[in-house]
Amino acid sequence: MTDRVERAGLMVATSLAGFLEAHALPGTGLEAEPFWRGVSTIFARFAPENAALLSIRDTLQAKVDCWYVDHADMPIDMAGYRTFLRDIGYLVPEPEPFAIGSTDVDPEVATLAGPQLVVPILNARFLLNAANARWGSLYDALYGTDAIPGAAAGQGYDIDRGAQVIAWAKAFLDRAVPLAIGSWSDWAGGNPALADPSQLVGRAGENILLRHHGLHIELVIDRDHPIGRGDPAGLADVILESALTAIADLEDSIAAVDADDKVAAYANWLGLMRGDLSASFKKDGVVQTRRLEQDRRYAAPDGSVFTLPGRSLMFVRNVGHLMTTPAVLLSDGSQAPEGILDAIVTSLIGLHDLNGRRANSRAGSIYIVKPKMHGPDEAVFTNRLFDAVEDLLGLSRQTIKVGVMDEERRTSANLAACIHAVRDRIVFINTGFLDRTGDEMHTAMRAGPMIRKGDMKASGWIAAYEDRNVQIGLACGLSGRAQIGKGMWAAPDRMADMLAQKIGHPRTGANTAWVPSPTAATLHAIHYHEVDVFARQAERRGEAVASLDRLLTIPVATGRNWSAAEVREELDNNAQGILGYVVRWIDQGIGCSKVPDIRDIGLMEDRATLRISSQHIANWLLHGVATRGEVDAAFARMAAKVDAQNADDPLYRPLANGGIAMDAAKALVFDGLDQPNGYTEPLLHRYRTEAKVAAAG
């Protein structure tokens, strides 16, 4: 039973009220009593609207379901389909041409291009790693991964491998910051004569600071270092400016189901904004403490001193509109919308940065990513909610910036209108392939059996989705004012593949893309030296927007009759992914981690991957491609596999024995048709709460 205290007509979990009053409010200039009155007013005003928007989602889905049933076994007439979607309000009129008006946007977001990390906010150590990933060692990133073809990381230091790393890094320098004559491999030290002398922008002692495409490269000169001793110039390392921005995630990558979870998450965000977050851990038997990096000082060529940020600029991703939280009960006893609570608390905590050293946002903004909005009405709601939070906290209008995740079908189809709804505070749009596919499948659940999951990336609607995101973003004036982002590289151990493939993101004109680790950020930074993103955006500006009809094409498997072996293979793949993720979520409260896939390849998994896998099986069950018995058999086979993959985890509870995690996994599939928009959160929260109660009792 949660202990609660009354605050302005709200019943607030004692742990949350205590955290806000003892830690979050002090230092902001706000007093507790008027703060709580304002919070109560916001909930009274916006909670009914939030519920009404969710009801509209359900109404639209019911109408779309009926349309598919009425048009079963008929080729879809796209003109008629578009007319239907407009008639029911699913599609809205395009706004007149406009340009966003966001101001006070930091250069990391507006005028620079580089990697972006997403990190679960509940893990303080990971959070610090992400915040400190602004700068990374290229030598370490190359040496410790498979990034160089034919080389593999081993134990100790391998001279031949080290030589490969140094040669690779110097070849990179030849491309990004070439010398006027010769190669960096022949550089013997001193003041480097660059082909473009303006690229040399500073020094720190003997270290040399270079700049290319707005990103900095620091050459570490240390003749006492083992590597530096063997280099004619004493070059001991190449440090790249890497993760310009990072997202502290309250949403898909964490398991936060009650007040204590929320307080732990908010406390870590407070530590970031105050600059005092730390984490202690044991390594090789020695206790180490990690803290936030300080800014870096350099002397410019003219002798003046300047600093560069020592850490990534931090966004915080709030939850979407769907979920409620037991951390706050409204006057009628119902749970408060969790997204409204996040908006209030994360913005309140942001005041510690704005009123302090502005170590996060030098421009004086608070950056919130808002996921899973369905269409422009929900974007309008978010804009008005942020207005109200600004009024509560005494902030100027549009201090709170918003990042819009383009990951739901109704947002993709109305993207310009969604951007227009938040046009004076938007700083970010980003595609999310997995959630977008999950919503595609749930929206068109009754249109027919979906193509196999592995074929989705090659389908026409995905290409239109990715193209339209950039094209519409550029048409709305995001270049030079906001980020146009692309999705995650999910395989943290496959850096050679990432180097070969992820350059495609900046080539589209996206000025950021997600990476799973600081090491991946350093390697992905190379792509932003290879591609002049803002020149690419200029080339694409004015490009015709990809066809809406192509975006709305449904990925059903017309006329396909899979063999029994193909069906079994697809079920096993989906079931293994579901179980591998759910067992950690339910039993251990781990919302994101490297989970072995069916081929034992470690992939970063979060709720988006779970949504697509569970919805895919639910779709095949609905259309008779698979039977319940076949799905149960797949779960039984894959439980044994997942148990074997986790055999070395002392906290692991075997799935083969049944239990709450297995019940949750099956519910996600067998109750998948009834889940709002195919989301996994309602069931995950229910079963995780049950598991926590069982563990406590």
Sign of the C-alpha dihedral computed for residues 251, 252, 253 and 257 taken in this order: positive
What the block records as the tokens of 192 is 């480097």
Cite the DSSP H helix spans in 151-302: 159-176, 226-229, 259-274
What the block records as the tokens of 239 is 């440090």
Element (H, E) at 397: none
Burial of 226 (0-12, 13-18, 19+ CB in 10 A): exposed
- Cβ neighbours of residue 364 closer than 8 Å, sequence gap 6 or more: 104, 354, 358, 399
- Cβ neighbours of residue 19 closer than 8 Å, sequence gap 6 or more: 263, 266, 267
Q: In whole angstroms, give the CA distance from residue 410 to residue 431.
A: 13
Angle at the Cα of 442 (from 436 to 447), degrees rounded to 5?
115
User: Would you list the DSSP string of 73-89?
Assistant: TS---HHHHHHHHHHTT
What the block records as the tokens of 570 is 């697809």
Long-range contacts of 27-31 (CB under 8 A, 24+ apart): 27/274, 27/351, 27/352, 27/355, 27/356, 28/348, 28/351, 28/352, 28/355, 28/393, 29/351, 29/355, 29/394, 30/348, 30/351, 30/393, 30/394
Backbone angles phi, psi at 554, to 5 degrees: -90, 130
User: Would you list the DSSP string of 216-255?
Assistant: EEEEEE-TTSHHHHTSTT-EEEEEEE--SEEEEESSTT--
Catalytic residue among 7, 134, 311, 317: 317
Backbone angles phi, psi at 503, to 5 degrees: -60, -20
| Bridge partners, residue 534, by sequence | none
Question: Do 244 and 115 contact (CB within 8 A), yes or no?
Answer: yes
Burial of 229 (0-12, 13-18, 19+ CB in 10 A): exposed
Question: Do 130 and 312 contact (CB within 8 A), yes or no?
Answer: yes
User: Would you list the DSSP string of 619-645?
Assistant: HHHHTTSS-HHHHHHHHHHHHHHHHHH
Strand extents, DSSP E, 63-199: 116-120, 135-137
Question: Do 78 and 552 contact (CB within 8 A), yes or no?
Answer: yes
Residue 435 falls in the annotated catalytic set: no
Q: Which SS3 state, helix, strand or coil, does residue 23 take? A: helix
CA distance readout (Å), 636 to 58, 318, 339, 642: 33, 36, 37, 10
Q: In whole angstroms, give the CA distance from residue 549 to residue 551.
A: 5
What the block records as the tokens of 142 is 């190359």
Element (H, E) at 657: none
**Helix count and strand count (H, E) for the chain:** 25, 23
Catalytic residue among 106, 231, 406, 606: 606
Q: In whole angstroms, give the CA distance from residue 385 to residue 318.
A: 13
Burial of 154 (0-12, 13-18, 19+ CB in 10 A): exposed
Residue 317 falls in the annotated catalytic set: yes
Q: In whole angstroms, give the CA distance from residue 543 to residue 166.
A: 41
**Catalytic center residues:** 317, 606
